[in-house]
Amino acid sequence: MALAVIFTVYWTLETMNTTYGVWGHSFAGSDFGFWAPKGGFGQWTYNLQAFIPFFFVAAITAVLPRRYRLSPHEALIVLTMSFAPAFTATYLAMGGPQFWIWAAMTRGGGPQLKPFLNPLLYSPATVVISSLAMIFAVFTLNFAALLWKSQWIDVEKLSFPMAHIPLAMIDRPVSEVGRPRILNKFFWIGLIIGVIYTIPPTLWNLQIIPTIPNWDVNTQIYPPLPNAGFYPGYNLIVISLLFLVPQDILMTMFLSYFIMRILIPPIGVWILGWPDVSSKGRGALLWYAPLSHYYGQFSAYWGLFSLGVWMLVFGWRNVINIVRAALGKPSAEKAAEEIRLQGFTTRTLLLMFVVSLLLQWLIPVAFGASPEFMLVNIILNLILFLGIVRMLLETGFAFTTTFLWYYPANELFWGSNGFIDAYANLSQKPGMLNEMLWSGFYTASYAQDNNSIATLVACRVASDTGTNMKDVIVASLSALAVSIFVGFSIAYWSTMTQGYTNWPWTALGPQEAAAMVKSGSGLANWMPHGPGWGSTDWSTAALAFLLPGVMWFLRTRFAWWPFHPIGIIIGFSAEYNYTGIWFMAIIVWLAKFAMLKTGGTKLYEKYLPLFIGIAMGGALMSFVFMAAYVVPRWFKTPGVTVEF
């Protein structure tokens, strides 16, 4: 009982921490990162803070007598507790920009709880059902990975997977001698470097100092081509994270950038009929639609969807093995021995998966969603999920949500709001219900992306440490239950007290929120007026779909082929989050090349904790800023009364 209480308190605090940070970002209106009124420093991801409790709990217990240290099994449970609340809080809060319910609320003057009870309940319901589906889907795909092992390893010569971030700092106790790797001096040196590196931006955003050193270097170089440009960038914390990424993926990220920024724009303008924005000046190039903003994410998700499709196309024989497993064939059952030892039989696993998918379809339909739409939606998301799993396994989870965090899987077919048009045509329900269902679908997409990632990481570590999978499921579901309640309560409270606006604006109050809805940023105005797809949408989607398939074919047929399809997809997504990510990838590639040539993998492994520590230091300082900037503003809003 005492342990259950401690875990519950832990999950609650973790959810509050993550929700604070995400909503602080929304209040401040800054682009990614320190969620600050001035912006100025990119933290690049909202979810890295999920690792903070894990690392520091491990660090604290590491200095205690051995009998009090975390075992790998206990460390995994703590890690799972960290993931579920962090991701749940993030997709509840980050779904806000598209939620009509959030956009309609103004500071202290929004709708009361009672009229919005149904949509408030519907969104968490879709999160829970979708998360259940993805938790069981992860186990099913682990089983599929075993069946596809010959394709993934024997044919493609992959390391499966390349790295394991979560337990990289903890030793398995092989003897009574030695110290846990969490006490590695390079890790703590890196942590100190990361903290020092992020102190000036923190003080600047808190308006304690007027200026900061320009430690983040971004320049612009324009070749004599329409809309093309080089954007070198430098960020120490992003570079430290990229040290976890395989070399061939880093190399391909540069190729992706070259294709998207140098080759495609002139072709698009001269041949495909894309609009030429060069006449608007150099600044216009930064926001040229086919290359940045949501088109980067749009391309990345099409790439992941493509990856899932090509996995099925190139591995069609293995799909037959999965069918045989469902029918209980002995050979396929033998392939699932690892999962059976973890507490599940193959039949139980597949049954849970099918039931969870049925619930994911049934619950929204019961609320009024189109049955056909939900069926297509689930199938497409599962194909996308295959691509996500493949990406995570091959990058060693270095890209948990680093470059895949904003637009959800449903927006594969959005383009210029084309998805909303399609949904509006499919469903003839009243407008209010349409909007309510869309908010639920949006949230469910975050559940599929983010919770699937968390569960996949936890399951991979569970396999490595011999942890019973049932314990992982119990920890995940318990944390999910707590974080849904806490996260949604925080979201509602903060909206009513502080107001909510979308990213292009700052949170200045009711007038701005009302103007945002009136201008068409609210979903109620989007649905009937979506412009549909144009030549840019079709050509971008086609390119993003075909390139990973071509890359995969060449990689599996020719041993000399140096590029990786995953790098193409990550490069697409990085177009939005960091235009200079390719430059940082090149820096890391050169540094790792020198390290591997000089001292081999031993030298690389020796200094890897240094870069993990730098990333952790930057994430830690984001907590410091969040606490100093966001929290006081929640409770010091004069004249605001929240009525429930």
Is residue 642 in some structural domain?
Answer: no
Is residue 550 in some structural domain?
Answer: yes
Is residue 168 in some structural domain?
Answer: yes
pLDDT band at 259 (very low <50, low <70, confident <90, very high): confident
- Say how far apart CA 136 and CA 200 lie, in whole Å: 44
**Closest CA relative to residue 235, chosen from 612, 587, 595, 571:** 587
Q: What's the pLDDT tens digit per position in 573-607?
A: 665 445 567 788 888 899 988 998 898 878 887 88
One-letter amino acid identity for 263? L
Residues with Cβ within 8 Å of residue 330, at least 6 apart in sequence: none
Question: Ranked by mean pLDDT, which of 40-54, 189-203, 502-516, 558-572 comes out on top?
Answer: 189-203
- For residues 264, 270, 272, 278, the Cα torsion angle rounded to the nearest 10 degrees is 70
Q: What percent of the chain has pLDDT over 90?
A: 1
One DSSP character per residue, 36-52 reads -SS-------SSGGGHH
- For residues 55, 56, 57, 63, the Cα torsion angle rounded to the nearest 10 degrees is 110
**Closest CA relative to residue 80, chosen from 633, 415, 607, 476:** 476
Q: What's the pLDDT tens digit per position in 142-176?
A: 555 554 444 444 444 443 333 344 344 444 443 44
Rg (alpha carbons) of the chain, rounded to whole number:
24
One-letter amino acid identity for 386? L
Q: What's the pLDDT tens digit per position in 411-440?
A: 333 333 333 333 333 333 333 333 333 333
Distance of CA 128 to the CA centre of its chain: 18
* 249, pLDDT greater than 60: yes
* 636, pLDDT greater than 60: no
Q: What is the pLDDT of residue 514?
A: 42
Q: What's the pLDDT tens digit per position in 126-142?
A: 556 555 655 555 555 55
For 609-638, what is the mean pLDDT?
A: 70
Secondary element (H or E) of residue 218: strand 217-218
Residues with Cβ within 8 Å of residue 367, at least 6 apart in sequence: 122, 433, 436, 437, 440
For 177-188, what is the mean pLDDT?
A: 65
CB-based contact 41:33 (threshold 8 Å): yes
Residues with Cβ within 8 Å of residue 115, at least 6 apart in sequence: none
CB-based contact 311:386 (threshold 8 Å): yes
Domain that holds residue 448: 2-635
Q: With 0-12 CB in 10 A as exposed, 13-18 as middle and 19+ as buried, what is 637?
A: middle
Q: Is 234 helix (H, G, I), strand (E, B) or coil?
A: strand
Is residue 644 in some structural domain?
Answer: no
Is residue 542 in some structural domain?
Answer: yes
**Closest CA relative to residue 82, chosen from 7, 171, 138, 180:** 7
Q: What percent of the chain has pLDDT over 70?
A: 31
Is residue 641 in some structural domain?
Answer: no
Q: What is the pLDDT of residue 177?
A: 39
User: Chain-wide mean pLDDT for the chain?
Assistant: 60
Q: What is the pLDDT of residue 235?
A: 76
Is residue 351 in some structural domain?
Answer: yes
Q: What's the pLDDT tens digit per position in 390-417?
A: 666 566 555 544 444 333 333 333 333 3
Q: Which range has the worst mean pLDDT, 85-99, 217-231, 477-491?
A: 85-99
For the chain, what is the largest distance between any 2 Cα atoms, rounded to a whole number of angstroms? 70
- For residues 400, 48, 459, 15, the Cα torsion angle rounded to the nearest 10 degrees is -130
Q: Look at the chain and report how many structural domains it folds into.
A: 1
Query: Quick one: tokens of 501?
Result: 């606006």
One DSSP character per residue, 252-315 reads HHHHHHHIIIIIHHHHHHHTS-----GGG-HHHHTT-GGGSTHHHHHHHHHHHHHHHHHHHHHT
* 188, pLDDT greater than 80: yes
* 212, pLDDT greater than 70: no
Q: What's the pLDDT tens digit per position in 477-487?
A: 777 777 767 76
CB-based contact 271:209 (threshold 8 Å): no
Is residue 56 in some structural domain?
Answer: yes
Q: What is the pLDDT of residue 97?
A: 40
**Closest CA relative to residue 438, chosen from 424, 452, 418:** 424
For 266-273, what is the mean pLDDT?
A: 78
